[in-house]
Amino acid sequence: MHKTMNKLKFSVLGVLLLSLFSCKSQYEVLLSSNDVNAKYQAAMEFFNNKKYMKAAQLFESLAVLTSGTARDDTVQYYWGLSNYRNKDYYTAESNFSRFVQNFPRSPFASDAAFYRLDCLYRATYRWELDQLPTRSCMSHIAEYMRENKADDVHMEACRKMMADLQDRLDRKDFEAGRQYYRMEQYPSARIKLLNVLKTNANNNYREDVLYYTAMSSYHYARLSVWQKQKERYLTFVDDYLNFVGEYPESRYRHELDGIYRQVQKFLGKDGVAEEEKANEK
């Protein structure tokens, strides 16, 4: 009885192993096959069933067989799209880059160009890190937007990517200036922050830049020798008036108003005229 049961177990196990081996070998045989139609159909089935890695491998092997044929651009496009959906953005970017160069008139060309941009976008870094990939990606997106019509289906996505990438650059520039402030190097902080706006007056962090500029001039004056304080407090007054003129409803307004009143007392002025001017702007 036991021998019969053991034989039955081994038989079942053998069937299972044979089945698994057969499934695997079928895919491997198909992968090395020159049957274009069978391989193409299988690749599309794997893609539609979200088995993107297997689809990518089949489309890659198909690319040699369909080169120069009517299916060439379709195979190349789905090869890249399979890698993209498999989150292999590095390989997908290479696929799409080659595609837009080789098939500029393909019906897939616009989508391939956009997916290439998205791969580049995903390869960029946080604002704290190197921003060279960011600048390169922005250049490619700008080129795509110039070459495509305003009603292109990907245009809104491109604008969102550009806005996010620009924000990273703006944040990095702002934080570089604020770092001097945190290190209490106030003269250097003020210069660095003002240079941020000289480089890009529309920096997304303009309000913060102007706030820390004013705070830098205030602390620099406060920590200066008595003989230098009046001149340096006047610099703060200029920075304060500039700030409240642009951002009268700022969350920083209450704090800066308090500092401004203290400075006016030190300067021996009531500050009424200056405050009125600031509120009129």
Q: Any alpha helices (H) in the chain, and if so which ranges?
A: 2-32, 36-48, 52-66, 72-85, 89-102, 109-122, 132-147, 155-182, 186-199, 206-222, 226-246, 253-267, 272-280
Query: 251: helix, coil or strand?
Result: coil
Distances (CA, A) of 3 to 7, 14, 29: 6, 16, 37
Chain Cα centroid distance, residue 148: 21
- Do 37 and 67 touch, CB atoms closer than 8 A? no
Query: 51: helix, coil or strand?
Result: coil
CATH numbers and ranges of domains, the chain: 31-103 (1.25.40.10), 205-281 (no CATH)
Angle between the 36-48 and 2-32 helix axes, to the nearest 10 degrees?
Answer: 110
Alpha-carbon gap, residue 62 to 66, rounded angstroms = 6
pTM above 0.85, yes or no: no
Q: What is the pLDDT along the chain (281 residues), one digit of tens a residue?
A: 444 444 444 443 344 334 444 445 688 888 888 889 999 999 999 999 999 999 999 999 999 999 999 999 999 999 999 999 999 999 999 999 999 999 999 999 999 999 999 999 999 999 988 899 999 999 999 999 998 876 678 999 999 999 999 999 999 999 999 999 999 999 999 999 999 999 999 999 999 999 999 999 999 999 999 999 999 999 999 999 999 999 999 999 999 999 999 999 999 864 444 444 444 44
Alpha-carbon gap, residue 112 to 135, rounded angstroms = 21
Nearest to 41 by CA among 23, 59, 20, 15: 59
